[in-house]
Amino acid sequence: MYNMYKEEFNPSQIMTERYFEFHHTYNETPPTVEFHQHPFYEIFFFLSGNVNYIIEGKNYSLRPGDVLLTSSSDIHRPDIHPGKPYERVVIWLADDFFGHLKDLYGEDLTACFTDAALKDYRLIRPDSQNILHLKQLCAKISEAKHSMEIGSAALASAYLTEFLVHVSRAYYDTPDSVKYDVTENEKVNQIISYINENLTENISLDDLAAKFYISKYYLSRQFKQFTGLSLYQYIVKKRLILARNMLRKGYSVMDSCLQCGFGDYSNFLKAFKREFGRNPSNIRRIR
């Protein structure tokens, strides 16, 4: 497909470049990807395979050319089935990159990410002409990223900006019919919304079952079925994400711990290291 450099899949999910990263990955054998999140924006451009993508309790049945948007609070994972090669482009974008674009052009290209999170639907389904154009832009970004010629970095950034504009337009043009390819549970959606709005409070299975008039055993099964995580795992992950994002805004480790619903500082440190692979004090503040 076009002239793009293919990479080995890297499960680390860590961004090492300053403003953005572009990855074109191809797997004949489905890789195993755990539930994860990251402190940056992600555009997932699906090219081929047999994949359902789980984001915050919703299961998206993907078609080639689909685009998914995730931001720094979204827990997600692809469910990859054998039978077809799994090919995708993944673009990671730092807050700074969007801030730079806003300074230059006066437009906030994070708007579609924000709107997708508010509506809790992250799927974009561009029309065939737009898919072709996005693929061509990906090939140009890939070529510029691997070129040593003068101005190549500037070209990669320019092509990426054009890609973002077309993704943003496609987001607002996506037909409502895409919702038929989303499997969800309204009760689980309500519970997820409640958890995200009350992360700093004491949230228990018994309290949620009583509040939403549902058996706690049925709630546990349904929650695990649609999110892929137990209720406890989900709450801890979301609290840790909130703490990490607070640290990146300059909050102290102690304040981040206490304001995110962790009652025990020692347990917070252990959970944070286990989730992110480093101590809270080593999280880089956003410049």
Instruction: Record the tokens describing residue 75, joined without a space.
Output: 């827990």
In this structure, the number of other CB atoms found within 10 A of the CB of residue 206 comes to: 9
52-92 tens-digit pLDDT:
999 999 999 999 999 999 998 899 999 999 999 999 999 99
Q: Where are the domains of the chain?
A: 20-182, 185-282
Handedness of CA 218, 239, 277, 22 (dihedral sign): positive
| Non-local CB neighbours of 100 within 8 Å, separated by 6+ positions | 19
Candidate CATH numbers 3.30.200.20, 3.60.20.40, 1.10.10.60, 1.10.630.10; the one for domain 185-282:
1.10.10.60
User: pLDDT-based confidence at 4, cuts 50/70/90?
Assistant: confident
**What is the per-residue burial (b if ≥16 Cβ within 10 Å, else e) of 161-192?**
bebbebbbebbeebeeebeeeeebbebbeebb
**Distance, CA of 214 to CA of 206 (rounded, Å):** 10
CA distances from 202 to 141, 144, 232, 262 (A): 46, 50, 12, 9
In this structure, the number of other CB atoms found within 10 A of the CB of residue 201 comes to: 10
User: pLDDT-based confidence at 284, cuts 50/70/90?
Assistant: low
CA distances from 102 to 139, 228, 249 (A): 25, 36, 19
191-217 tens-digit pLDDT:
999 999 999 888 999 999 999 999 999
CATH 2.40.170.20 fits 20-182, yes or no: no
pTM as predicted: 0.87
Handedness of CA 120, 123, 127, 130 (dihedral sign): positive
User: Fold match between 20-182 and 185-282?
Assistant: no
